Structure 1
Amino acid sequence: MARKKPSTRRKPRSNPRGRLSVRPEGYGFVSTAEGEFFIPESRMRGAFDGDLVEISPLPAEATRGRFAHRETGSRKRAARIVSVVERVHDILVGRYEVAEPFGVVVPEDRRIPYDIFTLRSESAHVPDGAVVSVRITSWPTRHSAATGVVEQVLGFDDDERVMIDLIVASHKLETEFSEASLAQASQAELGEDSALADGYRDLRSRFVFTVDPADARDFDDALSFEVVDGSHSAVPRGAVARVGVHIADVSHYVPWASSIDLDARRRATSVYLVDRVIPMLPERLSNDLCSLRPDEDRRCMTIDLFIDARGRVVSSDAYPALIRSRARLTYDQAQTLIDGDRENVAGFSGISGDTLDRLRVCIPALSRIAQQRAVLRTERGGLDFDTVEASVVLDDEGCPIDVSLRRKTAATQMVEESMIMANEAAARLLSGHAFPGMYRVHEKPSADDLEGLLPIFQEFPWFDASLEAPVLAGDPFALARVLELSDGRPEHELIVALVLRSMKRAVYSPACDGHFGLASEAYTHFTSPIRRYPDLVVHRMMKALLFGRGERFDQEVSNIPWLAEHSSRMERTAERASRDSQEAKLVELMESQVGKRFSALIVGVATYGLFVRLPNTAEGLVPIDSLGREYFALDPVRHVLAGQDTAVKYRLGQRVDVVLTVADRQTRKLTFKLVPVEQDRPKGRKKPRQRDIDRALRHQQGLDRG
């Protein structure tokens, strides 16, 4: 008698899930709870970059030796995509090509290798070569192509703005506010009398001023400074100064669940692109009522910080207030005052003599406190990264004309340290009362991320072997020592970049888990509610703590966890969009430099070439085939590319001379080649011919025999 099959069903096997990250070369990676998997180009199954996918690991014996990470040479377990769980791209941006009876949209994003087919009859008005947005109606499969409908014509490649429009569209950034949000913003009023009646303190007699970049459009933070007497009963004991940090009171104009709030919540941040700002709030608020412009009354959330003679905060006081800024300074003007340049009066046009005299007292005093604060943070294990911020300068037509490199100055340090003090005070206020909040959390780097730094550090003679163990353990003092030892050396820029790369990303969280980079036990973002939604959340929680919980308090608190995650994700999107826009215009600027020679720093090595960075921060690739005919092997541990025949080595941090060969604005990529050694010969001298070398050798041999 035949045996019956068991009636119980087998439990279906659970496949790992994760977000797909596709590289321009066509392959991808999926990070899952079980680790990161390599996805070959042939196993994508129609998935797009960013999609949530379900994967199935391929047999180890079937993939051994076949799939490797092309940048590092390391091998990962390979897998195939089983299914797409969640699509993130319903609208794509690309170039429209007429191919009757179709209009084919070639995606601008090189990580998406699928063309989108539309019916030419449905978009006959779209000219060939136009840049369009297309809504996908069916996804690609093994047997069918992706199809869609043209939504909008964005422009053409020769339009200066269309390049940035492409970036805006590719990152799905919202550029329009809802009608309800705009209507609500237009009805907003300052209401000085009602503010005072509601408990706002009147600080309009205090000397308050703003310090911002010269091209700033909104001013959401202001400063004040006063000498105080710590022996007075109304002043905390030991205090010698009071630093006031005054932040625009955005929460007054943006109540929870209002139309403006819903728009701001989705955006979560303002986006700063090379040629424009996409604000989180309507202009009526961001550039008007919430902008701390000189000689205008404004609502603020103020934190007074009482400082002792060593720069320590002995006490703080938070409250809403009315202020009136007396002056708007640029960083350059503030630096002039810090330097004590009393002759440069012309640079302060529009500021009265009395105001200028008071600024000459306040600014240098605040700068001294900032220097003390920086020293105190270093003593407790904080890390200071001396980075360069590059900004492409555009003309009135949107064409790139230059690159502005911004480094930290005493003036920028003064503002930065004041904001850090205020952020820490706000975090202490909420956490000290065990009150709900949203914190800025920065975790300690992992040992795996730090382990890869040691072989690189060991290449340099200044690195002490005694630092190996503490660096691997993530000791902030050891990492600070590495930065200090490399300072002033050619490789310092590289060391800073590598240490930064090893750091975990700071994120928003409802838990107060500290900030590793700042060596702060409690840290939040309080100082920019015009452009960051988490700051707005913090303001609301502080008001609830100071004045009592509102009707919707529980609803606000229950939403903090997902808002923190959403804000972290949107912050990353905004950063990528900002970086893409700068790179686009930087490549466009470099088009006129093709054929020119540059000194460059090697910032990456891969099996397919060297990544180099120019002094203006432009980066590009030196392809492996341009290094010569010999075989080059990659040492992924020491990040060295070595020639098999000549033993020539190219390593991270090495300086090389390169010539720019290609600047492709469509792909936003630069390509270089190394300068041949013979190009370094003095002018007028020719390379000796081989027969002359042989003749000289025979002559020398004759002399030796004689």
Structure 2
Amino acid sequence: MEYKNLEEGIFKALEKLNKPLKAREIAKFLGIPPEERQELREKLKELAKEGKLVKLKGAKYALPEKFNLVVGKLCVYREGFGFVDPIDGGRGVFVPGKNMAGAMNGDIVAVEIVKEFPDGRKEGKVVSVIERAVKKVVGRVEKHRRHCFVIPEDKRIRYDVLLTHEDCKKVEDGDYVVVEIISYPSDTRGPVGKLLENLGKTGPKLDIELIIRKYDLPVEFPPEVLREAEKIPDQVTEKDLEGRVDLRDQLCFTIDGENARDFDDAVAIEKLPDGNYRLFVHIADVSHYVKPGSALDLEAYRRGTSVYFPDRCIPMLPEKLSNGICSLNPNVDRLTFTCEMLINRRGTVIDYKIYESVIHSKARLTYTIAQRIIDGDEEAIEKFPHVVESLKAMYELAQILYKKRYKRGSLDFDLPEPVVVLNTEGEPIDIYRAERLWSHRIIEEFMIAANETVAEFMFWSDYPSVYRVHESPDREKLSEFLNFVRSLGIRVPAVKNDIQPKLLQKILEQVEGKPEEKLVNYLMLRTMARAKYSPDNIGHFGLASTHYTHFTSPIRRYADLQLHRLVKMALRGEFTSDSIPYWEEKLEKVCKHVTERSINADEAERDVIELKKLQYAKNHIGEVFEAIITGVTEQGLYVETIEQLIPGFIHVTNLKNDYYICIPKQYCLVGEKTRTVFRIGDRALVRLLHVDTENRKAEFEMVRKLK
């Protein structure tokens, strides 16, 4: 029996025989002899992983739709329940804790739909774990007579891990350890683990080490990667200059953070007599040094991104490259990939060129120094007199680009970023809000312009590419958000068809400068889909951009490095009709992987910041803070302190002098006697009562509501 491909044959066998089949039964149907069945087994695994098939007990495969099954990724919440996000899209399926069947957070599972509700919600139970996500667990040892259990740091892991009898002898009660799971949980028993590393007792420096292991972040570079890095020259050679545009005489410079050491981008500008601007965005040419398939490349791909913590950076590339030959340091020659744009007075890119180049940065400015120069600070101007005119022109152009972007509906979430200051022991000694200056915006606007220009070039070239995409919000989440906004008295037009960013922008305009501004920004952000990498260009909703990518940070993001290679292939005409299908398939996997690594890094960074905020709070128990109410439930109020951004909860029992009733549709608690109303967005004085860093909780009591 002949089929166009193996996949089609597998589906035909399952359709025709109309029951779950083992690999050998499918092979028999397709006439594949025993010695040639390895390819079939691999294909079955691949199809199960993609959600096109489901693997049942007894190593049998079935079509999901035949058994009312949904295949997707299980996301477990701290409270014990979970949701399965279907691989092929659509609404998530709710899974109660009792229906997990040994599945763990991040696993690819098949769920059987057991209940369907009139509003479209579904409840399911896990019938099969297709792929395990949790391979290692980080946690604290608890000894119970002859048994040792590891209590996971990640509260989304619902099971304590039993250590083997031998490993139990090697640990003490209260030790923090890393274990590898050697036996996964089922309905009747918990997981068993093997000791990999004993980190000792807790302390301020150990906590970040725990988070590094919790998110499985690679810290040390393998020896072969370091050997390869060592072979790369420390300086640009004459041979490197072949075929490059020489811009070493140009006045270009970097603007970056105070502590930055890896400079991805440098900028230069010319204001032309006709009022137009010629903007040069020079990006480190990492792809010149990191070749596809090399040890450096494979390790960069594995890491996917650099990860930034308050006291350290875990780089994607070894320091020899990230802070050395690839970094656009001042007063040295560096190889770059340039996006040169001609931009008119309305902010439209009317012409552009993308080419390989060599530059010689004339200054390393910090955002603070750049802002002082813009503001006319004489001391800063004296220190960097040669950049003053360029910065003035850059400020002008950035304002034009920002206005244009704003006009088309681009969303600008002005949420305060906490900056955590640690002492030498790793203890938090200060937390403050990061200041957002126009010097930051200059770089933001120029990078967005370059990213859009490169994305547009690749899109119209019709070659395989990597895009940074952002889908429009989920209608249900959006509807809930709009109802909340209306409850604040904000005018919101009815949404008939597809939501446009402009509508959300108008809401942000109405709350600008008001007490509820931060909250509306935050809740709107929560309705948004997560941005991701994709080989398909569907646009970027948040930026109101039809073509967007990540081109500007190849030192710290693998997506950008991959894109640089594709752009070079496009410029050199290296794509062929034979190679395009290969790249389309490869980029599906690359985009999925780098998206996952990016999300993992974001979660690790957020986890460290949340932990450090609570450690800081622990030293301030009993103190009174000004806070904003961020959530309302029957149990009480969620709050966040205004200055230090410490999140916490006020239980209804800590709302004295009255009995409070929750009115969900109005997002408030109302006092039965006093009729005092606590609503989302209200400000209040709160007293810190208790901090539980392990479970990431802070408890407050109400002092009084502020007017």
Same fold (TM over 0.5): yes
Q: How many angstroms apart in 2 are the aligned matches of 1:179 and 1:325?
A: 32
Q: How many angstroms apart in 1 are the aligned matches of 2:230 and 2:496?
A: 54
Query: Residue type of the partner of 2:150?
Result: V
1:531 corresponds to:
556
1:44 corresponds to:
100
1:608 corresponds to:
635
Q: How many angstroms apart in 2 are the aligned matches of 1:202 and 1:142?
A: 66
In the TM superposition, 1:516-595 aligns within 5 A as 516-549=541-574, 555-595=582-622
1:290 corresponds to:
326
Q: CA deviation at 1:309?
A: 3.0
CA RMSD of aligned residues (A): 2.6
Runs of 5+ consecutive residues of structure 1 not aligned to the other structure: 1-6, 65-73, 231-238, 349-355, 681-706
1:352 corresponds to:
none
Q: How many angstroms apart in 1 are the aligned matches of 2:677 and 2:518?
A: 20
Q: How many angstroms apart in 2 are the aligned matches of 1:262 and 1:638?
A: 52
Contact 2:68 2:112 in 1 (8 A): no
1:55 corresponds to:
111
C-alpha change, 1:432 and 1:659, in structure 2 (3 Å) is same
C-alpha change, 1:539 and 1:75, in structure 2 (3 Å) is closer
Secondary structure of 2:224 counterpart: helix
Secondary structure of 2:346 counterpart: coil
1:423 corresponds to:
451
Query: Residue type of the partner of 2:482?
Result: L
Contact 2:326 2:334 in 1 (8 A): yes
Q: CA deviation at 1:592?
A: 1.0
Q: CA deviation at 1:633?
A: 4.6
Contact 1:451 1:472 in 2 (8 A): no
Q: CA deviation at 1:469?
A: 1.4
Contact 1:211 1:222 in 2 (8 A): yes
1:414 corresponds to:
442
From 247, 261, 286, give the equivalent of 1:217. Answer: 261
1:71 corresponds to:
none
Q: CA deviation at 1:326?
A: 1.0
C-alpha change, 1:144 and 1:520, in structure 2 (3 Å) is closer
Query: Residue type of the partner of 1:474?
Result: I
In the TM superposition, 1:606-685 aligns within 5 A as 606-615=633-642, 616-627=644-655, 632-643=660-671, 647-675=675-703
Which stretch shows the higher mean deviation, 594-603 or 139-148?
139-148
1:23 and 2:77 matched? yes
Deviation string for 1:668-699 (max 9, x for gaps)? 2211111168xx9xxxxxxxxxxxxxxxxxxx
From 500, 510, 514, give the equivalent of 1:489. Answer: 514
Q: CA deviation at 1:622?
A: 1.4
C-alpha change, 1:648 and 1:296, in structure 2 (3 Å) is same
Secondary structure of 2:291 counterpart: coil
Q: How many residues align?
A: 640
Which stretch shows the higher mean deviation, 119-128 or 15-24?
119-128
Query: Residue type of the partner of 1:92?
Result: V
Q: How many angstroms apart in 2 are the aligned matches of 1:342 and 1:143?
A: 73
2:404 corresponds to:
376
Q: Calculate the TM-score normalised by the size of structure 2.
A: 0.85
C-alpha change, 1:200 and 1:60, in structure 2 (3 Å) is closer
Q: CA deviation at 1:374?
A: 0.6
Contact 2:113 2:125 in 1 (8 A): yes
Contact 1:454 1:468 in 2 (8 A): no
Which stretch shows the higher mean deviation, 297-306 or 81-90?
81-90
Secondary structure of 1:16 counterpart: strand
Query: Residue type of the partner of 2:310?
Result: V
Query: Residue type of the partner of 2:302?
Result: R
Which stretch shows the higher mean deviation, 428-437 or 583-592?
428-437
C-alpha change, 1:274 and 1:667, in structure 2 (3 Å) is farther
Q: How many angstroms apart in 1 are the aligned matches of 2:185 and 2:405?
A: 54
Deviation string for 1:321-371 (max 9, x for gaps)? 11111110000000011111224468x4xxxxxxx2221111121011000
Secondary structure of 1:326 counterpart: coil
Q: CA deviation at 1:191?
A: 4.0
1:684 corresponds to:
none
Which stretch shows the higher mean deviation, 547-556 or 371-380?
547-556
Q: How many angstroms apart in 2 are the aligned matches of 1:420 and 1:472?
A: 28
Contact 2:236 2:334 in 1 (8 A): no
1:99 and 2:144 matched? yes
1:318 and 2:359 matched? no
From 489, 493, 500, give the equivalent of 1:468. Answer: 493
Q: CA deviation at 1:556?
A: 4.7
Contact 2:271 2:393 in 1 (8 A): no
C-alpha change, 1:244 and 1:643, in structure 2 (3 Å) is same
Q: How many angstroms apart in 2 are the aligned matches of 1:574 and 1:393?
A: 20
1:367 corresponds to:
395
Q: Calculate the TM-score normalised by the size of structure 1.
A: 0.85
Q: CA deviation at 1:285?
A: 0.8
Contact 1:247 1:527 in 2 (8 A): yes
C-alpha change, 1:36 and 1:510, in structure 2 (3 Å) is closer
Deviation string for 1:384-407 (max 9, x for gaps)? 222211121112221111113113
Q: How many angstroms apart in 1 are the aligned matches of 2:503 and 2:121?
A: 31
Query: Residue type of the partner of 2:259?
Result: D
1:179 and 2:223 matched? yes
In the TM superposition, 1:327-366 aligns within 5 A as 327-344=363-380, 348=383, 356-366=384-394
In the TM superposition, 1:431-450 aligns within 5 A as 431-450=459-478
Deviation string for 1:89-122 (max 9, x for gaps)? 1210111233343322111122223222223433
Contact 1:222 1:247 in 2 (8 A): yes
Query: Residue type of the partner of 1:55?
Result: V
Deviation string for 1:135-190 (max 9, x for gaps)? 111123343332221110123212x2211111111111122222222111111124
Q: CA deviation at 1:632?
A: 4.8
1:129 corresponds to:
174
Query: Residue type of the partner of 1:50?
Result: G
Secondary structure of 2:213 counterpart: helix
Contact 2:381 2:388 in 1 (8 A): no
Secondary structure of 2:420 counterpart: strand
Query: Residue type of the partner of 1:136?
Result: I
C-alpha change, 1:99 and 1:676, in structure 2 (3 Å) is same
Secondary structure of 2:611 counterpart: helix
Contact 2:161 2:192 in 1 (8 A): yes
From 113, 121, 126, give the equivalent of 2:158. Answer: 113
2:47 corresponds to:
none
Query: Residue type of the partner of 1:274?
Result: P
Give the structure, 1 or 2, with the largest relative contact order (CA under 8 Å, sep 6 or more): 1
1:148 corresponds to:
193
Secondary structure of 2:406 counterpart: helix
Query: Residue type of the partner of 1:433?
Result: S
Q: How many angstroms apart in 2 are the aligned matches of 1:402 and 1:544?
A: 48
2:240 corresponds to:
195
Secondary structure of 2:419 counterpart: strand
C-alpha change, 1:123 and 1:209, in structure 2 (3 Å) is same
2:343 corresponds to:
307
Q: How many angstroms apart in 1 are the aligned matches of 2:562 and 2:294?
A: 14
Contact 1:279 1:531 in 2 (8 A): yes
Q: How many angstroms apart in 1 are the aligned matches of 2:453 and 2:113?
A: 49
From 453, 477, 492, give the equivalent of 2:481. Answer: 453
Secondary structure of 2:362 counterpart: strand
Contact 2:236 2:333 in 1 (8 A): no
Secondary structure of 1:613 counterpart: strand
Contact 1:249 1:301 in 2 (8 A): yes
C-alpha change, 1:207 and 1:43, in structure 2 (3 Å) is same
Q: CA deviation at 1:430?
A: 1.2
Q: How many angstroms apart in 2 are the aligned matches of 1:639 and 1:75?
A: 24
Which stretch shows the higher mean deviation, 614-623 or 209-218?
614-623
Deviation string for 1:497-518 (max 9, x for gaps)? 1222222222111122222222
From 430, 435, 456, give the equivalent of 1:402. Answer: 430
C-alpha change, 1:644 and 1:426, in structure 2 (3 Å) is same
2:250 corresponds to:
206
